[in-house]
Amino acid sequence: MSRVDLAAPDEPVAGRSPHLSRRRRRRSAVVPVLVALLTAAALAEADVDRPVASVAWLAIGPLTASLLLTWTWTALVGGYAMLLGTLVVVTRPGDPQTTAMQLLVLGALSAFAVGNCVLRERRERQLRTVLRVAQVAQGAILQPVPARSSRMHFGARYRSADPQAQVGGDVLDVRPTPRGARVLVADVRGHGLPAVQLAAVVAASFREACARPGLSLVEVARYVDHSVELLASDEESATAVFLDLDDRGWTEVINCGHPPPLRRDPGGRVTALSPRHATTPLGLSPQLRSDTFSMTPHERLVVYTDGLLEAHNPAGEFMPLQQRVAALDTHQPGAAAARLMDDALTHAGGDVEDDVAILVIDFDPPNPPSLAA
């Protein structure tokens, strides 16, 4: 599984690519080993006082190289194996037809190794291209969460259910405002590329709506819902929770079929910000209504997707989420989000079945985190 830390963007690394360096170190270690093994095997075969049995087994050298090295190095190892095979045959002559057949098999296996290496390198290039596209998609959907906005501090974690992906169908976004922030946490129903496409639309429409001055939270939610209706099919929708956080002590919440955020007070009591009026997910004509909650200093909000809520162990027991949130008393927001993610993975035996997005919000904490990020 892929885990993304949304607290701060990755720093660029100067110099050569680490992948290239690792490949070169691997090549510099493998080539001498293969050459030494082939040489030792050929010398052992040449010293035995009997007719040559077979030199085709020397093809194990280029075949091994085709799994680890480039095609040029594989071809060089194959040529070296052919040279050793020829020297063994010349040193210990046998039946000409048999030895010719042995060398022919050795050459064919060496050529096969080179061809296999070419196909492997082509697949690796295609995979690197797909990974670059996935990284671009991740940047379009998941942008780094600000460490602070006004009197609020944030920490976030994201984990995709697909082991080969860094992004899935969950959306997590924070847009700073002069007196707080606007937040969206959404979960797209669906799988594969259509879910990722719909998640990108949800994130982009939310950012565009937040950039328009004067829109209320209901109007922002309505704009996102309209975008989902235009793209989503009959089987696609998205649960979502919108929050308007104000540092004057109130929080406006619109919940569209999403798990309610959890509020932890300074005493450790955890309650859910449940909506008074339930509504349908985005894309299913929700009746958008907001609820307002008062917040006090040192309180904490935990907003999440149902991948965290549904984390269960092999016995089918769900993680006691409210107890875990209550235990996060000394952790800063980023550490608290990481702790919740680790708790879910530990409870589920190291694997969760759905994407997980976690956002932790602290209201004027006593020990603000560093703003360097």
Confidence check: pLDDT of 55 > 80: no
Which two tokens mark 105?
């098999």
For residue 191, the model assigns a pLDDT of: 63
Mean pLDDT of the chain: 82
- pTM higher than the cut 0.85: no
Running DSSP on this structure, what letter comes out for residue 54? -
Query: Which CATH class for the 145-363 domain?
Result: alpha beta
Q: Quick one: CA dihedral 183, 188, 191, 192, positive or negative?
A: negative
Q: Per the structure block, which two tokens stand in for 54? A: 């077979």
Give ranges for CATH 3.60.40.10 in the chain: 145-363
Digit-coded pLDDT (tens) for 121-157: 999 888 888 777 777 766 667 788 999 998 899 999 9
Helix (H) or strand (E) holding 292: strand 291-294
> How far is the C-alpha of 142 from the C-alpha of 5, rounded, in Å?
10
| Whether residue 359 has pLDDT greater than 90 | yes
Tens of pLDDT, residues 58-81: 888 888 888 888 889 899 988 988
**Digit-coded pLDDT (tens) for 302-334:** 999 998 988 888 888 899 999 999 998 767 899
pLDDT at 15: 39
Measure the CA–CA gap between 107 and 288, rounded to whole angstroms: 72
Hunting for tokens 């969460």 — which residue is that? 145
Residue ranges in the chain assigned as alpha helix (H): 18-47, 60-68, 71-91, 96-141, 192-211, 217-231, 306-309, 321-326, 333-347
**pLDDT of amino acid 9:** 38
Distance CA 283, CA 225 (A): 6
Q: What are the φ and ψ backbone dihedral angles of 228, each rounded to 5 degrees?
A: -65, -40
Per-residue model confidence as pLDDT tens digits over 71-116: 898 999 889 888 888 887 777 666 677 778 888 888 999 999 999 9
Taking a C-beta distance cutoff of 8 angstroms, is the pair 290, 273 a contact? no
Q: For residue range 157-180, what is the model confidence (pLDDT) as tens digits?
A: 998 776 556 667 889 999 999 889
Find the mean pLDDT for residues 199-218. Answer: 93
Rounded to 5 degrees, φ, ψ at 213 are -70, 145
- What would the mean pLDDT of 345-349 be, rounded to a whole number? 87
What was the pLDDT predicted at 371? Answer: 39
